[in-house]
Structure 1
């Protein structure tokens, strides 16, 4: 039997590498204790966390595409928590989303747009989903558009948000319509909140195994 040629070995190596990439997970489940609950969702595998901070009753974590930074990015997935917000009179996921949208509007009053996707339920928790954006903002190295899928969640005691933002060329109106936002909503799922079990550590099997 003749030994394999260099070309044969190379072809086999390339095939194995391609197979490994094809079998690699396209996302991984993120479960994080944030104030009173565990926040669970699917993170695309090409994102990596670059910033996390808790200050008083506010929590934030930002993830960007691998190779990008918290200052220079094209896409960012942000998780936030607002401690005890369910006690705020009149609070609702829709009103919370409106407050965040108002912050966007103040940054770009002449190029703001929004597309509500409506009230939704995640697990047994009430939420609201919208797409909001600015056609022209000056933050970062250059003027650009910034559009975000916004998900607000009312937890047992706290409120949470998930935002998948994208920067692009400046325009008169940000691209708030389009199938890609529905696709990204599906890509983040399943989104849910789980109770924190005393003494349980990562990977939080009680939430992983939740039906």
Structure 2
């Protein structure tokens, strides 16, 4: 005898399908982009979407914000930059590049600036440096707010690159540069890799997919 289907049975089945779909849905995706002399690869959460990209002279920038936000109004932003030919500058190092960006933060909020160096790092065979920098009060954008960022600077074969994950919040006397979430976000961005550009290879750049 066929068992009648009840509303409760249908609801239970629907919830199971929804839970299965959520379990199978990826939480992040691999971003691999040719930027000047190399492919820059890292992992980006799926909740981010690209909103701006520009190359001007030897400077490249790309920005991604949470879905539904804009380049002008955002709560979180992941930015990738490239500086063409910077390895030709003998005095350049990943730490100095990170320090220069931190200096820009400091000038915007001299009374509420804070920084937490994470120190030198290596990404494959490439040198890097990471730090967490923040402003407790900053006036850029539509309202006064705090802005804190995980900053990763990398020295490539010929160029320098940065990956930055920034977050805005209410203004504060002490930006949360020591918060554990920044270490979690560093882990979320990994594996970070720089790969050679292979002639004739197109996206999704399989030669770089599994590099770390």
Separation in 1, partners of 2:211, 2:116: 32
Partner of 1:31: 32
Contact 2:117/2:132, CA 8 A, preserved across alignment: yes
* CA deviation profile, 1:12-36 (whole Å, cap 9, x unmatched): 1221011111221111111000000
Q: Count residues in correspondence.
A: 211
TM-score norm. by structure 2 comes to: 0.96
Q: 1:124 to 1:171 in 2, by over 3 A?
A: same
* CA deviation profile, 1:86-124 (whole Å, cap 9, x unmatched): 011300000000100000011111111111000000111
Separation in 1, partners of 2:177, 2:134: 7
Partner of 2:98: 97
Partner of 2:162: 161
**1:45, distance to aligned residue in structure 2 (A):** 1.1
1:7 counterpart = 2:8:
yes
1:200 counterpart = 2:201:
yes
Partner of 2:171: 170
Separation in 2, partners of 1:150, 1:49: 18
Separation in 2, partners of 1:106, 1:209: 39
Runs of 4+ in 1 over 3 A off after TM superposition: none
* CA deviation profile, 1:160-196 (whole Å, cap 9, x unmatched): 0000000111011211102111111000000010000
Alignment of 1:125-140 (within 5 A): 125-140=126-141
Please tell me the root mean square deviation across aligned C-alpha atoms, in Å: 1.1
* CA deviation profile, 1:113-156 (whole Å, cap 9, x unmatched): 11100000011100000000100001112110000000000000
Secondary structure of the structure 1 residue equivalent to 2:71:
coil
Q: Which moved more, 1:145-154 or 1:132-141?
A: 132-141
Q: Which moved more, 1:21-30 or 1:152-161?
A: 21-30
Contact 2:193/2:211, CA 8 A, preserved across alignment: no
Secondary structure of the structure 1 residue equivalent to 2:187:
helix
Structure 1 alignment gaps of length 5 or more: none
1:151 counterpart = 2:158:
no
Structure 2 alignment gaps of length 5 or more: none
Partner of 2:121: 120
Secondary structure of the structure 2 residue equivalent to 1:15:
helix
TM-score norm. by structure 1 comes to: 0.97
* CA deviation profile, 1:2-61 (whole Å, cap 9, x unmatched): 342333223212210111112211111110000000000000111111111111111111
